């Protein structure tokens, strides 16, 4: 007997999309794609070298720094390695397996983010199709939108883990597992990222529950706070937040750093994909499914969504945080999409989803093709910086330690790499954090054309590595106490020049043999 369309739909695999999600081929596919793409992704993030340098300092000293360990312009000032856990993991892997080990750590973290979302789907009882979409979008976010090897990837694990913990506390008879997961999520976040307070947001799941239980809400809050205290920085958490989130030259509404630009202003020049993602998140409360939610749940999930909107409004980097805080609402929106009734259409949709899941691997392969430009090192312009780096390594090899560490000035974009690549020099910009008394303040004035042009502290240093168009370049050329080292023509990057103080140069016994060091542009430490 010929089956009706309804019977055909029931017999198809698509009908299983409403059942409880379980370990299956779709999860394996997402894990495989995420792991392979993360391993292929080149280590060319400008901030990664500073994370490696901080991890190396912690391993070498056996403790976390409390005062500035790198920049001579901040010596004695407060410094907190709030991302110490991933930084130590990166550096430990690098020492054991070279830079390939850092890629392995990155791949493990991305895979952990996939598993965390899958576990959230089980705890929140999402439909199978909503789970598949959420998994794929999560992978795309952290491999295409934010592919960098950075500590914030831990938030892609900790926040879904906290959401899952809240759902388990709401529905489970025993709160033990939910409380343990809550504590773990908070502990992971506080040892990995400055925005660890976001792990308290999933409490809205408990506040919005139809059966409101004060004990479960209190348990979630207490477990989260206890998790925050599970860190070597426990006594300095408020100081960390004040130092990094307080008034700052580069945290204003007109920041020259792209990821700190206000979100809605950035959308004007953003790619179409970014506009679609932000637009989709923006209209979530206006969709029909949202009005059908219980009033209490609608209110509290809306508060979490609103917190994400506020973070996005402050800075474009908040787009990923908005996604993490709106995950339950997004899943409900996806689950409300009517499924196709024809079996052939259903199969086509599944096939399209599978193809989309593989997008990160294609992106990683394409990015890998550019690897030769950076010599496999974690900075997009490592090869261009190579001549200056090689000269500095040679010149500082015989430095007299009794006269102190040479003091260098560079630009914000290159500071992270130079701190890691040339640790024999104390650089005035570290590129990892933004402090008002660093030269970043001077750069902000120049890039924004706001107020008087401020000069970085090169007058009190020994080395300056700056663009030729920098406001200080003409002064360095005119100052008889300084000498220009001809490395920029070899680098093929005419915008950058190296100056050294003549008095410091005269004290270096190895400088005579350093002229030939700039001839090579390939660094010998790519995979040591």
Residue 153 DSSP code: G
Confidence of residue 253 (pLDDT cuts 50, 70, 90): low
pLDDT digits (tens, 9 = 90+) for 164-214: 999 999 988 889 999 999 999 999 999 999 999 999 999 999 999 888 899
Residue 202 DSSP code: T
User: If you average pLDDT over residues 220-230, what whole number do you get?
Assistant: 97
3-state secondary structure 54-113: HHHHHHHHCCCCCECCCCHHHCCCECCCCCHHHHHHHHHHHHHHCHHHHHHHHHHHHHHH
Domain residue extents for the chain: 382-519
User: If you average pLDDT over residues 227-241, what whole number do you get?
Assistant: 95
Contact, 51 vs 39, CB < 8 A?
Answer: no
Which has the higher per-residue pLDDT, 374 or 332? Answer: 332
pLDDT digits (tens, 9 = 90+) for 380-390: 778 778 888 88
pLDDT digits (tens, 9 = 90+) for 13-66: 333 434 456 678 888 888 988 898 898 888 888 889 999 999 999 999 999 999
This prediction has a pTM of: 0.85
> Which pLDDT score is estimated for 525?
37
Give the contacts of 55 (CB within 8 A, at least 6 positions apart).
Answer: 84, 87, 88, 89, 90, 91, 92
Least confidently predicted of 39-53, 73-87, 485-499: 485-499
Residue 254 DSSP code: T
The strand ranges marked E within 290-355 are: none
Q: What gap in Å lies between CA 302 and CA 8, rounded to an integer?
A: 38
User: If you average pLDDT over residues 395-403, what whole number do you get?
Assistant: 64
User: If you average pLDDT over residues 123-144, what whole number do you get?
Assistant: 87
Beta bridge partners of 482: 501
Continuous segment of H or E residues that includes residue 496: strand 496-501
Closest CA to 198 of 296, 317, 304: 304
Give just the sign of the alpha carbon dihedral 217, 219, 220, 224. positive
* pLDDT cut 90: percent of the chain above it: 38
Kindly report the average pLDDT of the chain as a whole number: 81
């Amino acid at each position: 007997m010929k089956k009706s369309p309804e019977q055909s739909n029931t017999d198809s695999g698509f009908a299983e999309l409403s059942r409880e999600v379980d370990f299956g081929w779709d999860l394996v596919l997402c894990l495989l794609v995420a792991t392979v793409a993360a391993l292929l992704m080149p280590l060319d993030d400008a901030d990664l070298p500073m994370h490696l340098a901080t991890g190396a300092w912690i391993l070498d000293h056996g403790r976390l720094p409390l005062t500035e360990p790198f920049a001579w312009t901040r010596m004695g000032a407060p410094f907190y390695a709030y991302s110490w856990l991933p930084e130590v993991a990166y550096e430990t892997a690098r020492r054991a397996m070279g830079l390939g080990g850092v890629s392995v750590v990155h791949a493990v973290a991305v895979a952990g983010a996939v598993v965390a979302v899958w576990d959230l789907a089980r705890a929140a009882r999402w439909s199978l199709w909503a789970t598949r979409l959420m998994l794929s979008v999560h992978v795309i976010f952290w491999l295409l939108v934010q592919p960098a090897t950075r500590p914030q990837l831990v938030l892609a694990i900790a926040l879904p883990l906290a959401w899952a913990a809240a759902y388990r506390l709401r529905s489970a008879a025993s709160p033990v597992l939910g409380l343990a997961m809550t504590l773990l999520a908070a502990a992971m976040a506080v040892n990995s990222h400055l925005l660890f307070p976001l792990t308290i947001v999933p409490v809205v799941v408990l506040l919005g529950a139809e059966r409101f239980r004060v004990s479960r809400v209190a348990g979630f809050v207490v477990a989260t706070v206890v998790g925050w205290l599970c860190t070597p920085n426990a006594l300095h958490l408020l100081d960390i937040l004040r130092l990094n989130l307080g008034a700052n030259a580069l945290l204003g509404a007109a920041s020259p750093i792209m990821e700190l630009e206000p979100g809605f202003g950035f959308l004007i020049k953003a790619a179409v994909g970014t506009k679609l993602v932000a637009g989709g998140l923006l209209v979530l409360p206006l969709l029909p499914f949202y009005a059908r939610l219980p009033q209490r749940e609608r209110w509290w999930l809306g508060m979490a969504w609103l917190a994400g909107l506020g973070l996005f409004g402050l800075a474009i980097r908040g787009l990923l945080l908005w996604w993490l805080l709106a995950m339950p609402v997004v899943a409900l929106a996806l689950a409300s999409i009517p499924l196709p009734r024809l079996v052939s259409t259903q199969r086509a949709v599944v096939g399209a989803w599978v193809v989309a899941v593989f997008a990160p691997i294609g992106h990683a392969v394409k990015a890998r093709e550019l690897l030769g430009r950076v010599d496999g090192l974690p900075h997009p312009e490592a090869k261009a910086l190579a001549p200056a780096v090689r000269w500095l390594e040679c010149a500082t090899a015989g430095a007299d330690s009794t006269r102190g560490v040479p003091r260098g000035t560079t630009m914000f974009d290159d500071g992270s790499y130079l701190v890691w690549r040339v640790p024999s020099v104390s650089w005035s910009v570290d590129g990892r954090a933004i402090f008002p008394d660093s030269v970043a303040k001077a750069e902000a004035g120049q890039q924004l054309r706001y107020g008087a042009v401020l000069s970085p502290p090169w007058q009190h240093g020994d080395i300056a590595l700056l663009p030729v168009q920098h406001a200080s370049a003409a002064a360095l050329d005119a100052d008889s106490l300084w000498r220009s080292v001809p490395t920029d023509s070899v680098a093929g990057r005419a915008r950058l020049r190296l100056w050294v103080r003549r008095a410091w140069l005269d004290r270096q016994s190895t400088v005579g043999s350093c002229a030939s060091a700039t001839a090579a542009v390939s660094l010998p430490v790519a995979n040591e």
